[in-house]
Amino acid sequence: MILNFSKIFLIFIICFLAIFFKLETSLALNDDQSEMYQGCVENAKLLGEERAKQYCRCITIMITEKYTIDEIESIGLMEQEIQLEKFSFATSYCNLNANAPSDKG
């Protein structure tokens, strides 16, 4: 169930990623991360507000620590299977954990 939801949710994130990179938001994240986070939260409301914020912060941090913004945008243009493969490390981890590894410690 978690894996299926993760795939569906990731598709929503990728679809809206380019749009939300143009928004301005406020968080203790850099501008690009904040924009990605906000787009994610908008699409994650099914999780409930608090969990959506945890999940989205986690995947935003993990994805932007691994890939540059240009790489993320490029991945967003790839086939959905490739997108899922590239981002699955974050979605899998964040489905089970409230915080990204870099938030701990």
Predicted confidence (pLDDT) per residue in 58-104, tens digit:
999 999 999 999 999 999 999 999 999 999 999 999 999 988 888 76
Domain ranges across the chain: 2-21+30-97
> What does pTM read for this prediction?
0.71
Task: Specify the pLDDT at position 12.
Answer: 59
Long-range contacts of 1-10 (CB under 8 A, 24+ apart): 2/95, 2/96, 3/92, 3/95, 5/95, 6/88, 6/91, 6/92, 6/95, 7/84, 7/91, 9/43, 9/44, 9/91, 10/83, 10/84, 10/87, 10/88, 10/91
